Each structure stands twice: as C-alpha cells, then as structure tokens.
Chains A and B, each alone.
Chain A
Amino acid sequence: MNSRKYLVLAGVSVFAPVGDSLLSYGMKQVGNISLNNIPELLLAIANPWVGLGIVLLLGFFASYMTALSWADLTYVLPASSLGYVLLALIARFALHEQISLMRWLGIALVSGGVGFVTSGPEVTRRPPQHLSNDGVAAEHL
C-alpha cells in the first residue's frame, strides 16, 4: 500500500457518507413516493440536493472502481467504512451535536473493524493469469 492507494480509500470513505446524507436531505423535500408512481422517482433527481448528492456519489464511484482494481472487495468495504466515523466526528466537533454512548461504541467497533482488515494484505494472491487478445486478463473462475 502506498500513499496514492490510501488517498483512493479516503475518497471512497468521504464521498459516500456525505453523498448519502445529501440524498436523504433531498428526498425528505421530495416526499413519499408510491410504488404506483415510479416515474416520480426518476424526477427526484431534479431536486438540487439529490443532484449534488449524485455528483458526490459519482466521485465515490470513481474512487471505488480504482480501489477494486487493486484490492479485494472484502478489504475495500471495511477499510473504507471510516467515513461513518468521520461523519460522527464532524457532527460532534464541528456541529456540536451530542454523541450517545451507543454511537461512541459503534465508532469503536467500526474503527476496530478497519484496524483488523488493514493489518492484512489488500489482495488475495493468485497464480499468474493468461492475457487474452485485447490485453485484458482472461477469466480464470
């Protein structure tokens, strides 16, 4: 792992929770959507908060794809969950919200999980793969 890879994981961590929060804020403005009126769901992206949330989630997606290209899924997901902790810390120290004991315990568990996974290798080692004609590694599963 080098600094570029840690930066990519940080991008995954930060963009996802902030984007989700903006989506939540926007969808509360849009209101309840019935299963009988699915097109209304498509129009929800016209809400600016939902739109901004989508932009951040696109940033998340680019970082996530990059991380998955060199690390296992079971490494990337827990390792990038520090974003939940980051959001709680922003709520406590920037927004001066009260953090309950349960939430501090949750922060400790998430941090412990991140510590577990990042102490191991980021990718499952496999035998070398053959390359197909278009330069992309052939399937081996």
Chain B
Amino acid sequence: MIPHAISNLNGWLAILAIVISSSAGDVLLSRGMKQIGDLGEVRRKHGFNFVLLQILRNRYFLIGVGCMAISFYSLLFGLSWNEVSLIGPAAASLTFVANAFAAKMFLHEHVDHRRWAAALFVAAGVVLMAF
C-alpha cells in the first residue's frame, strides 16, 4: 500500500516537474528561435555554420535547453516509478494547456478561440488515447 502511494506521489511530482520545466523551456526556445528568424532562410543566406553559431550564442536557447534537460530527466524519473500510460498522457495534456497560457502571457501570441480549442481538444484527446 505504502510503496504504491510513494510510487503514485513520485509519479505526480515528476508530472508537475515535467509540465513546469517543459512549458518554461518551450517558451524560451520559441523566443530564442524568433530572435534568429526562419532557420531555413538564414541557412540559405549565411550557411549552416552561421545558423548553428547563432543558435548556440542565443541565451534564451541555452536556458531553454537547460529547462528541457530538467524535463527530460523528470520524465525518466517518472517512467521509472509509474506507467508510461499515466506519465505520458498526463504530462503531455497538461503541458498543452500550460503552454497556451504561457505563450499568451510571455510571448504575447494571439491565442484566439481556434487555438484554445485546439489546445483543449488535443489535451483531452491525449488523455483518452491512454485508455
């Protein structure tokens, strides 16, 4: 009973860590990439090495990758304690919704009714697909 409770608690702690770090990482990476511009076009104009240098010099990218690393190890930790059928859908669906809020707040994206509907539909769909 107690090991099961610990397993559940660790699983949900991992989900919380994944949602927070993944959303922060997504927002930072998105901001960093928008600063650089369309990678395909920049590569055509200046070459691959230039693109790589711009990405590796971008502080939002670097902090974003750090957040993604935390998210990745939280996922591994969660998977070692609980089923992928819980960790995967729960973390993914909550991250979709958290990202919509974060993108509106921090990136000032135009999240219209269509995008809210998309985030909620996908979040609900991901949960149902675990059954």
Q: Which residues of A contact B (CB under 8 A)?
A: 4, 20-21, 23-24, 27-28, 30-33, 35, 41, 44, 50, 57, 61, 64-66, 68-70, 72-78, 81, 84, 88, 100, 102-103, 105-114, 116-117, 119-120, 124, 136-137, 139, 141
B110 to chain A, nearest CB (A): 4
Task: Give Cα A103 to B30, complex, Å.
Answer: 31
User: Given A78-B96, A106-B128, A139-B35, does the pair A4, B40 have CB atoms closer than 8 Å?
Assistant: yes
Structural contact, B118 and A78, CB atoms closer than 8 A: yes
Chain B residue nearest in CB terms to A64:
B29
**How would residues 49 to 76 of chain B score, 1 for a CB under 8 Å from any chain A CB and 0 otherwise?**
0000011001000000000100011011
B115 to chain A, nearest CB (A): 5
Structural contact, B80 and A74, CB atoms closer than 8 A: no
Determine which of B73, B115, B126, B127 lies in contact with A120 in the assembled complex, contact meaning CB atoms within 8 Å: B115
22 A-B residue contacts at CB 8 Å? A27-B76, A33-B80, A33-B81, A41-B73, A41-B77, A66-B40, A68-B34, A69-B42, A70-B40, A72-B107, A73-B99, A74-B119, A78-B119, A100-B131, A107-B129, A110-B122, A111-B125, A124-B110, A136-B35, A136-B54, A137-B34, A137-B37
Is B103's CB within 8 Å of the partner chain A?
Answer: yes
Q: How many A-B residue pairs have CB under 8 A?
A: 169
Instruction: List the A side residues contacting B26 at CB < 8 Å.
Output: 73, 77
Interface centre among A31, A70, A137, A139 (most CB of B within 10 A): A70
Instruction: List the A side residues contacting B108 at CB < 8 Å.
Output: 124, 141
B109 to chain A, nearest CB (A): 5
User: Given A74-B119, A109-B125, A113-B122, does the pair A69, B80 have CB atoms closer than 8 Å?
Assistant: no
Structural contact, A77 and B35, CB atoms closer than 8 A: no
User: Given A20-B88, A65-B33, does the pair A77, B38 have CB atoms closer than 8 Å?
Assistant: no
Instruction: List the A side residues contacting B125 at CB < 8 Å.
Output: 81, 84, 105-113
Task: Give Cα A141 to B106, complex, Å.
Answer: 8
